[in-house]
Amino acid sequence: MIFNNKSPVGIISYGSKIPKNRISGEQIAKNQGKEKQKIYQSLGVYSKSVPSKDEDTITISVAAGFQALDRLKKLSNKDIRSQLGSLFIGSESHPYAVKPTGTVVAQALGISSDSYINSQGEGFYKSLALADLQFACKAGTQALQISSIYVNSDFTNYAMAIGADTAQAKRGDVLEYTAGAGGAAFIVGKNESQFLAKIIATTSVATDTPDFWRRPKEDHPEHAGRFTANPGYFRHILMVVNQILNETKIKIEEIDYFVFHTPNAKFPMTIAKKLGIDKRKIEPSLLVKNIGNTYAGASMLGLVSTLDLIEENKKILIASYGSGSGSDAFIIETTDKLISARKKWNNEKN
């Protein structure tokens, strides 16, 4: 889908949350008795984030959401929560099997439908479309895609998309080196004067490629080893990248930065090589080296990291990957307001 200039959609704020705790790949290797294999070096993941006992997808989502709302208020001096008409949260680790993550997050953020009713029952009930999403590691970008379309269709003035996870791994499994925790929130709007980055287009692909799964009542996921690479990750990301470039008629050389899903640091570098992309164009997104794979939060955090570092008028291509399997892609372009926003946020923090 290409968003035309008559109905523009853009990112107007964002926030993130990564748990402070870390464990090194070296320590994991020692615990597994595999120090000599240097698996973490092969993966390019030297440490990963670890949630505290009181941190889960809900708390991470709330923290990221609050930061996005607070940053927007600092930029506009307006509280837009009464106009925020949708909230979608993508995760592989929703705390409840049957109870939405989103309702708890919405209540905490003050955007629930009853947030504007006082103790006497006076006020108004606001519209709020809400859903938890699951599509492995691309659930976060799916939330961003739906949010963008909601705003583009005039369903709401503002929408929030969150991707967050506290990833799990079976002890002794290779996933133990990478399964991290963290998440990011994006607020999307249609007022171009607020755009930090304009969303030019988005598209998706999906096939039945079962490379990674978890059955009901199982604590940890299973995976098909190397089957996750070529038939899964590489195939789908190449498909979706080619698709969005074809749909927009934008050449790959015109893209300034890339954000690919990061199950490790090795895979996105391999994709860059396959596409003939200079590795410097993906380096701003490679948080995985220090925080691990945050699953539904990974592509979202990669985008946050890139937006935190790059200049105005730069095109970014984001391509997520979700096992099972599918990919979402976006092309966005930064504006001069991103630079001024970062300066304001940094000045107030200091």
* Confidence category of residue 110, pLDDT binned at 50, 70, 90: very high
- pLDDT of res. 225: 62
- pLDDT of res. 85: 97
Whether the per-residue pLDDT at 108 is higher than 80: the answer is yes
Residues noted as catalytic: 92, 137, 261
| CA distances from residue 175 to 147, 162, 194, 207 in whole angstroms, order as listed | 31, 23, 40, 23
| Exposure string over 279-311, b if 16+ CB within 10 A, otherwise e | eebbbbbbbbbbbbbbbbbbbbbbbbbbbeebe
Q: H/E element holding 330?
A: strand 326-334
How far is the C-alpha of 314 from the C-alpha of 115, rounded, in Å? 38
The number of angstroms, rounded, from the C-alpha of 155 to the middle of its chain's C-alpha atoms is: 22
- Strands 181-189 and 315-319 come out as unpaired
- pLDDT of res. 268: 97
Report percent pLDDT > 70 for the chain: 96
Query: Mean pLDDT across the chain, nearest whole number?
Result: 94
Write out pLDDT tens, residues 121-148.
788 889 999 999 999 999 999 999 999 9
- pLDDT of res. 349: 64
The residue with greater pLDDT, 200 or 216, is 200
* Confidence category of residue 223, pLDDT binned at 50, 70, 90: low
- pLDDT of res. 226: 57
Helix axes 336-349, 57-76, angle to 10 degrees: 110
Q: Is the dihedral of CA 298, 318, 16, 268 positive or negative?
A: positive
- pLDDT of res. 168: 87
How far is the C-alpha of 211 from the C-alpha of 232, rounded, in Å? 6
Mean pLDDT, residues 272-291 = 97
How far is the C-alpha of 153 from the C-alpha of 93, rounded, in Å? 30
- pLDDT of res. 284: 98
How far is the C-alpha of 78 from the C-alpha of 122, rounded, in Å? 23
- pLDDT of res. 120: 80
Assigned CATH topology for domain 10-349: Peroxisomal Thiolase; Chain A, domain 1 (3.40.47)
CB count within 10 Å of CB 171 equals: 9
How far is the C-alpha of 204 from the C-alpha of 328, rounded, in Å? 4
Lowest mean pLDDT among 34-38, 98-102, 159-163, 200-204: 34-38
Whether the per-residue pLDDT at 267 is higher than 80: the answer is yes
Write out pLDDT tens, residues 71-99.
999 999 989 999 999 999 999 999 998 99
- pLDDT of res. 87: 98
Label residue 204 exposed, middle or buried (CB < 10 Å: 0-12, 13-18, 19+): buried
Calculated CA dihedral for residues 330, 212, 175, 261, nearest 10 degrees: -10
Mean pLDDT, residues 229-255 = 96
- pLDDT of res. 214: 74
* Confidence category of residue 5, pLDDT binned at 50, 70, 90: confident
Mean pLDDT, residues 95-122 = 92
DSSP assignment string, 125-164: PPP-EEEEE-BTBTHHHHHHHHHHHHHHTTS-SEEEEEEE
Helix axes 139-152, 298-307, angle to 10 degrees: 70
Q: Assign residue 342 a region (left: φ > 0; alpha: ψ between -120 and 50; beta: otherwise).
A: alpha
Whether the per-residue pLDDT at 301 is higher than 70: the answer is yes
Domain ranges across the chain: 10-349
Three-class DSSP category at 254? helix
